[in-house]
């Protein structure tokens, strides 16, 4: 009888603790929280905090970028110049793709044609400029492919695969990257997507409700370099995690109590 009362008391204590803390469970587990955070359940489509306006979705090349450049019609293109241009093979790209750094003066030093000013150009503009120069000086009907290989976004939270993802093309959207990551996990809350953009000291924060198809029309969902995309777990998933954590504490206590009651029972015989 005593053993039953002790177990019942511990069980009731555990249940009360869980329910008292359930309201704050998800917030405590969430990343990048701030006092100004919205209650995501109230967001209908896309809501922007500290809006920095519509930025140019076409990325402009700048100093210190790494450009992967290849001629799709010539498998040997660029390979002979790699040693003199401080280029290196680019992981994930074709083996004949070589990376070239954009210097501080905004130029990139390429085989045969030398320095080319590319800073301030979009990827498409730089591609056409380099293609025209090679056609005039060296190659017949070249097809140049250019990628800025250091552009990335970071996915954290309830995605199938977290990590850094390269922005290999212009106008890469949130849906493109979620697809590349294998979608969201079964425990993800689609109403709680948060994109952190721009200056980390004064960021633009974009809240997205993926449950509503109208969210997909927002231009804010075109991703930019160094965006952080985070999605929270559902309230039930967060609560289940909390219960499991409590169980890891309660179960050893119950074992100790059972052992103590067994010893007490035998000592009275």
Give the residue with greater pLDDT, 218 vs 240: 218
Quick count: other Cβ atoms within 10 Å of Cβ 65? 22
Tell me how far apart the terminal alpha carbons of the chain are, to the nearest angstrom: 16
Helix (H) or strand (E) holding 123: helix 123-137
Burial class (CB in 10 A: 0-12, 13-18, 19+), 54: exposed
Cα–Cα distance between 194 and 40 in angstroms, integer? 10
The domain ranges of the chain are 31-56+151-235, 66-148
Is residue 98's pLDDT more than 90?
no
Greatest alpha-carbon pair distance for the chain in Å reads 103
* Mean confidence (pLDDT) of the chain: 79
Mean of the pLDDT values across residues 76-97? 45
Q: Which two tokens stand for residue 240?
A: 């289940």
Give the residue with greater pLDDT, 266 vs 87: 266
**CATH (residue range 66-148):** 3.30.1950.10
pLDDT of 183: 96
Q: What is the domain class of 31-56+151-235 according to CATH?
A: alpha beta
What are the Cα distances from residue 190, in Å, to 41, 147, 172, 195, 212? 10, 31, 20, 13, 9
Equal CATH topology for 31-56+151-235 and 66-148:
no
pTM of whole model > 0.85? no
> Can you give the length of the chain in residues?
269
Cα–Cα distance between 170 and 57 in angstroms, integer? 7
What are the Cα distances from residue 82, in Å, to 62, 99, 115, 136, 139? 21, 8, 14, 21, 18
Least confident of 24-33, 99-108, 246-255: 24-33
Is residue 106's pLDDT more than 60?
yes
Per-residue pLDDT tens digits for 6-23: 455 555 555 555 444 544
Long-range residue pairs from 256-262, CB within 8 A, at least 24 positions apart, any chain: 257/3, 257/6, 257/7, 257/10, 258/3, 261/2, 261/3, 261/6
CB 48 within 8 A of CB 247: no
Taking 3-state DSSP, the helix, strand and coil percentages for the chain, each rounded to the nearest 5, stand at 35, 25, 40
Return the closest-CA partner of residue 208 out of 44, 81, 31: 44
Is residue 195's pLDDT more than 60?
yes
Q: Percentage of residues in the chain with pLDDT exceeding 90?
A: 45
Q: Which two tokens stand for residue 189?
A: 């809350």
pLDDT of 35: 65
């Amino acid at each position: 009888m005593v053993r039953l009362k002790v177990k019942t008391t511990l069980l009731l204590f555990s249940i009360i603790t869980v329910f008292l803390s359930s309201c704050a469970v998800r917030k405590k587990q969430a990343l990048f929280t701030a006092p100004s955070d919205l209650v995501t359940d109230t967001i209908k489509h896309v809501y922007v905090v500290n809006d920095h306006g519509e930025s140019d979705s076409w990325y402009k090349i700048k100093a210190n970028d790494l450009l992967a450049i290849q001629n799709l019609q010539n498998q040997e293109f660029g390979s002979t110049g790699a040693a003199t241009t401080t280029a290196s093979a680019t992981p994930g790209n074709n083996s004949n793709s070589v990376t070239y750094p954009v210097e501080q003066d905004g130029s990139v030093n390429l085989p045969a044609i030398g320095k080319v000013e590319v800073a301030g150009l979009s990827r498409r503009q730089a591609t056409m400029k380099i293609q025209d120069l090679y056609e005039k000086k060296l190659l017949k009907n070249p097809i140049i492919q250019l990628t800025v290989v250091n552009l990335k976004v970071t996915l954290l939270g309830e995605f199938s695969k977290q990590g850094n993802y390269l922005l290999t093309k212009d106008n890469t959207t949130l849906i493109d990257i979620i697809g590349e990551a294998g979608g969201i996990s079964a425990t993800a809350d689609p109403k709680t997507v948060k994109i952190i953009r721009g200056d980390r000291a004064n960021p633009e924060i974009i809240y997205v409700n993926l449950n509503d198809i109208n969210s997909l029309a927002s231009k804010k969902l075109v991703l930019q370099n160094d965006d952080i995309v985070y999605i929270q777990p559902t309230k039930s998933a967060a609560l289940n995690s909390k219960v499991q954590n409590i169980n890891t504490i309660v179960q050893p206590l119950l074992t100790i109590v059972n052992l103590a009651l067994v010893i007490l029972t035998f000592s009275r015989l």
